[in-house]
Structure 1
Amino acid sequence: MLSESERRVINVCDELFEETLLLTESLVRAYSTLGNEREALEIMEAWYRQEGLEVNRVPMRQSILDEMTGNTASIEARYNVMGTLNAASTGAHLVFNGHLDVVPAEPASLWTRAPWEPWRDADWLYGRGAGDMKSGIAAMAMAVKAVRQAGIAIEHPLTLQTVIEEECSGHGALACVKAGHAGDFVLIPEPFGATLVSGQVGVLWFRIGLDGVPAHVLDTSAGSNAIEAIASLFGALKSLETEINAMPRHALYQGMEKPFNLNVGRIEGGDWASSVPAHASLEGRLGFPPDMAVEDVMERVRRCVDEATADLGGGISNLKVDFHGFRSEGVVVDMRHPAIHLLGECHHDLTGEAVTSRALTCTTDLRAFHVHGGVTGTCYGPVAENIHGIGERVNLESVRHVLKAYALFLCRWGRETPRDDTLAQGR
């Protein structure tokens, strides 16, 4: 049941809904692909200052990148931005975390409008990042404004984190965690709908390169075709995917046909159409169970490639496997955690229905908090379609719902959430 003060907060959420969409649209216009996140960061920093939050920039430190041995864009002057309230309070520390970076919208010619120019049509807001996850960031920010504007004081520690590099490494959220900003519970507005995320797979990015022997096309047999050789590895990699999916699984993934997916997302090779290509490379992504170690998966990829070497043909040399970007462990969320229960109650009181949960076949920044910070959290966000695809869009009413759910969660966090020691036991 909603109290009178909570109903007042919900009414303010309705009043702020258009402002929430306008903030989303301004973030979509800031087309924040890898290395180009500055404008989006500045929009959120300005919003934090406008609302009286303490602003902190958390730099992307080389030491963290070296530790994770992942690839990243140049870290020169790159950072994440946070808005905080009551940092000195001894209450349970709630963290909202959202990523500002987006994947490229190419080919832009397939969009009906420029993907970095947001537009609304009926019940949807379109544009790259509208769903993944700029509308969720706008909702988490406006939820704070709604609670305060309704006259309810937020007295517990609260941090709003807007981070970069979620789409390629997770180093932005990791930098915040390593800098001591993990909090006691994290809520991430990924666009999977008003459902609780109960777990996620591990993810490994890999790169395979090799050399062939160049030759003139007047006699292609005089050379060794590197592109054909690299393409011949697809079968071996698909067999590895099948092998991993056939292994015993955590209960979260028992009902899924193929939760651990391989994707070969990039291939390059050759120099000239009339020359046998002398070099080629591919980059891929492989999902794996949450109870499997990253090192185990890396070894399986290496072994898979080694065993396929004999079928590459003569003249192929310098075969190399390396790992870049994601090297992310899986996550199993403790669904008995008191904050999970509290969020479920908020969902029920807004919808009249019990909240559902789902395990993801992808990864999110939950991994940084769970694995490296020892902090429980979940995702609960708007409904989006075509994320990473053409015509990405977010459902407007789902944004309104998430705004209200976050605001109600904020209201109840301070008075119903146990202190730090109890939260730690819930981890």
Structure 2
Amino acid sequence: MNSVEQTIVKSCDEVFNDLLSFTQDMVKQYSVLNQEQGVLDVVERQLADLQLPVQRVAMKHEALCSHPLYAPVPWNHEDKYNLVSQINPGAEGKTLVFNGHLDVVSAAPADMWTRAPHEPWIQDGWLYGRGAGDMQSGVAAMIYAVHAVRHAGFKIASPLTLQAVVEEECSGNGALSCLQQGFGGDFVLIPEPFGPQIYTGQVGVLWFKLTVQGKPVHVQDTAAGENAIEKLQRFIPPLKQLEERLNSDYRQPPYDTIANPFNLNIGTIQGGNWPSSVPAYAEMEGRIGFPVGMSANEIMQKVSDVIEQASQAMNLSGAGKPILRFHGFRSEGHLVDLKHAGIGLLADCHRSLVGAEPEQYLSTCTTDLRAFHFYSRTAGTCYGPIARNIHGVDECVDIESVRHTLKTYALFISRWCKLEPL
């Protein structure tokens, strides 16, 4: 590293404690779906305190709904927004984008946690709390990377955009809305908590909801009724068989190195209304992964065919047939262009800091990277901290890995962007 880069890396250490406090402030907000206002306020204030420009970018419902990449959800977006900080928009030079999501998944049941999930705590070098890893520490790192460059005495003179978005955990509509309104760039980095590795690809993901009706009767004669919960359970084995077929028939390179890359998960199930009544309804929501190259329409058709065939095998007709809906993710998979100059530069920054080649990570989930890939063919990857128990109990992030992400991003800025002395 040259003297400028060394100064910037040193600056990262000087601002790191503030970054950590900022992360804890975000975690305290517990920003589950449609309750993101608290964390949005925290991030907006932090950007202003760091003297970074910030604007609220509304999620324009009508425009979103008409876009082919829109993931249908059962709520309106008119009162929702993302935060964007644009530095030097329209200036000459390659545009760099950092994108991170603020929303988190539910931490319920909270009594399984060592401490309350929205009360962050530090132990043995790890920061605990829902969102600490996925991915509010990463959001803090990308924002403070810009701050560290300025703190070191340098002005970023080329275009750079910070995006702090919502709805990554369920639809990806937040990032899509930013791109739809022109907040794109030439290369994007996303600090997902998969560690300091080059993210090389991700599978497609589809969400679905299946509802069935039963016949409610008193339990004195259960045979006179039809138990909707038991009926619903009979659809799970055929869906598991679809999962098996996807993993046997479509596990092509590079996913042939992973035993089961296309996973089915039955995520929620509910039904009935009284222990002594045969349940009249039952509903489950699920997620299934699918291979790169398969379209969303294709996987939706496969799921539909499975449900239809199972219904026929059960002799279901009329009101007795299940209702299948698709909502949330219908996100196709893709592979990262590892030959892009931005990927090479990221690898160079990693080598400069650790003296070794970065490892690669092939994902069996999805991220907002897909919006950049499919919307504008923008190159990019994920590179971030190390987290444990993502979406689980006692989620945590390795604090030193956050520091490393901060330094890598600041170094990347110094090599990608045009810098001038303040």
TM-score in terms of structure 1 length: 0.95
Work out whether residues 227 and 270 of structure 1, in 8 Å CA contact, stay in contact via their aligned partners in 2: yes
Residue segments in structure 1 that go unaligned for 5+ positions in a row: 417-427
Specify the alignment match of 1:35 in structure 2: 34
Equivalent runs, 1:236-255 vs 2, <5 Å: 236-255=238-257
> CA 1:21 to 1:73, structure 2 compared with 1: closer, same or farther past 3 Å?
farther
Work out whether residues 96 and 188 of structure 1, in 8 Å CA contact, stay in contact via their aligned partners in 2: yes
Equivalent runs, 1:392-411 vs 2, <5 Å: 392-411=395-414
Work out whether residues 133 and 385 of structure 2, in 8 Å CA contact, stay in contact via their aligned partners in 1: yes
Equivalent runs, 1:81-96 vs 2, <5 Å: 81-96=83-98
Give the partner amino acid of 2:2: S
Pick aligned residue for 1:158 from 152, 157, 160: 160
C-alpha deviation, 1:66, in angstroms: 4.9
> CA 1:267 to 1:312, structure 2 compared with 1: closer, same or farther past 3 Å?
farther
Deviations 1:356-389 (A, max 9, x none): 1111000000011101121111000000000100
Q: What's the secondary structure of 2:209's corresponding residue?
A: strand
Q: Distance in 2 between matches of 1:72 and 1:34?
A: 12
Residue segments in structure 2 that go unaligned for 5+ positions in a row: none
Specify the alignment match of 1:423 in structure 2: none
> CA 1:314 to 1:297, structure 2 compared with 1: closer, same or farther past 3 Å?
closer
Q: What's the secondary structure of 1:153's corresponding residue?
A: strand
C-alpha deviation, 1:90, in angstroms: 2.1
- Report % sequence identity: 49
Equivalent runs, 1:112-123 vs 2, <5 Å: 112-123=114-125
Work out whether residues 61 and 76 of structure 2, in 8 Å CA contact, stay in contact via their aligned partners in 1: no
- More off after superposition, 244-253 vs 270-279: 244-253
C-alpha deviation, 1:318, in angstroms: 4.0
C-alpha deviation, 1:151, in angstroms: 1.4
Equivalent runs, 1:264-413 vs 2, <5 Å: 264-312=266-314, 317-413=320-416
The alignment status of 1:167 with 2:169, answered yes or no, reads yes
Specify the alignment match of 1:137 in structure 2: 139
Give the partner amino acid of 1:172: G
TM-score in terms of structure 2 length: 0.96
Aligned-residue CA RMSD (Å): 1.4
Deviations 1:189-242 (A, max 9, x none): 000000011100000000111111111111111111111110011100000000
Work out whether residues 65 and 71 of structure 1, in 8 Å CA contact, stay in contact via their aligned partners in 2: no
Deviations 1:49-90 (A, max 9, x none): 222222221111212135425115442421000111101202
Q: Distance in 2 between matches of 1:42 and 1:321?
A: 37
Give the partner amino acid of 1:32: S
- More off after superposition, 57-66 vs 28-37: 57-66
Work out whether residues 331 and 366 of structure 1, in 8 Å CA contact, stay in contact via their aligned partners in 2: no
Give the partner amino acid of 1:381: G
- More off after superposition, 67-76 vs 397-406: 67-76
Pick aligned residue for 1:197 from 190, 193, 199: 199
Specify the alignment match of 2:231 in structure 1: 229
C-alpha deviation, 1:122, in angstroms: 1.7
Specify the alignment match of 2:222 in structure 1: 220
Work out whether residues 229 and 313 of structure 1, in 8 Å CA contact, stay in contact via their aligned partners in 2: no
Work out whether residues 209 and 318 of structure 1, in 8 Å CA contact, stay in contact via their aligned partners in 2: no
Report how many aligned residue pairs link the two structures: 415
Work out whether residues 71 and 173 of structure 2, in 8 Å CA contact, stay in contact via their aligned partners in 1: no
Q: Distance in 1 between matches of 2:269 and 2:60?
A: 30
Give the partner amino acid of 1:108: A
Give the partner amino acid of 2:365: C
Deviations 1:284-323 (A, max 9, x none): 0000011111100000000000010134366871421110
C-alpha deviation, 1:249, in angstroms: 3.3
Specify the alignment match of 2:184 in structure 1: 182
C-alpha deviation, 1:251, in angstroms: 1.7
Q: Distance in 2 between matches of 1:19 and 1:314?
A: 60
